[in-house]
Structure 1
């Protein structure tokens, strides 16, 4: 009997699990669930997965939710040992260590960066404001450094592997971590500087087979997000030019724009305005 996975391709833990299945040519049925539309809270879904979490896995009479649990179960059941860290007990323990911390570290990127940005697309009453962008950027900087210092501290050193915990081959820890970090960059949600170690690691994971295939839905969502951002900028353009006051020589009066934009961070975010007359 084929396995059935319940989830959504845009969901980070679901994407990691589905990527693992593709990498190992494992046949499965896929049931799409829309968490944002309450799909995980229906009586039907909760009868299968009482925790109301996605992804969910049905394997015969056995039912399991939570992405890291599903990935670990599949690796152990199918003997996909390399994805658990190989035969080395200590390597496997390091992979488990990352997975145990995932929900309170890298998972913050979805909750505090990705989710607020997407809600700004789905619901005009909850816009992704400049204040939220600033907060999201700080979360990314914090999680970047924390991840690099903890899981990639020796990257580039002789004998040190290029994947999570210094391993020489990717594991499910890399799949789950990558699906969190890469989405913010792929979507263009936040700018700022990325830790070089994290960027090198992401470039390496991106080359793993089936990457583009399992991220197709995310790329489509990116197009929607960027289109929404363009509309937001166009609205700012109208407001900015309505508020502009020009002096007799064509210069831009500082007060009108400063009052509207409330500081340099928003002025910088709006890249279509001539700023040569403004010093904030």
Structure 2
């Protein structure tokens, strides 16, 4: 654990908090009903997915503080970094004629760097985060924070697209984002975090191996995000890019999830997750 990283982490989180409030509050005041519905959906989304991850052996022991900060980094700090850089990147891509990939550059380039940076800071800020799969967990939580905030904001500002009902507009936006592209940012940053975790915590590996894992898995996350955001009038390219990207992304995510579970098996009574701790009954029987 580094105090420098911990103090810097807190500072970045504090800087990101206003960037969460600024886009939400004015729109919430203008559209209170969609805002309330979207806020409820966001709370449920966070609660359910955090509960699922926490019940696995991947969850680090005493992991609530890093988890909360990971979500806040994704929702606030990442959004702050992206909001000041993405517009220029999109404009540059459009200016050069790359209209099909403008959203890809504006999304994958700043967002994945911002989220992966948060994973590094959090892993180095807490001593209980010391296993390669902890990078995967923290990456998923950072991605969850980013995705939840996007869903919250889009659910509010895009509710009026429905011709007759703001409520139906919220439901349409949330349905599209949850079911037509499920867990996207969770998967993107989880993959990047997996590589970062191995780069930081693998035993007996050289610098080249660590860099290869960190950069390699980041490249997978970046490429999947880039491919998913491809737009344009070519329907074959639009649909085909989603299909190919989805196959690569979800296959990679499942592979890493299984690999992380295998790596996180309890060994020699070394417990690294809440779910691995013996129950009171097991402790009594052992005595």
TM-score over 0.5 for the alignment? no
Looking at both structures, which has the greater relative contact order when contacts are Cα pairs under 8 Å and sequence separation is at least 6? 2
More strand by share: 1
Q: Normalising by the residue count of structure 2, what TM-score does the alignment of the two structures yield?
A: 0.31
More helix by share: 2
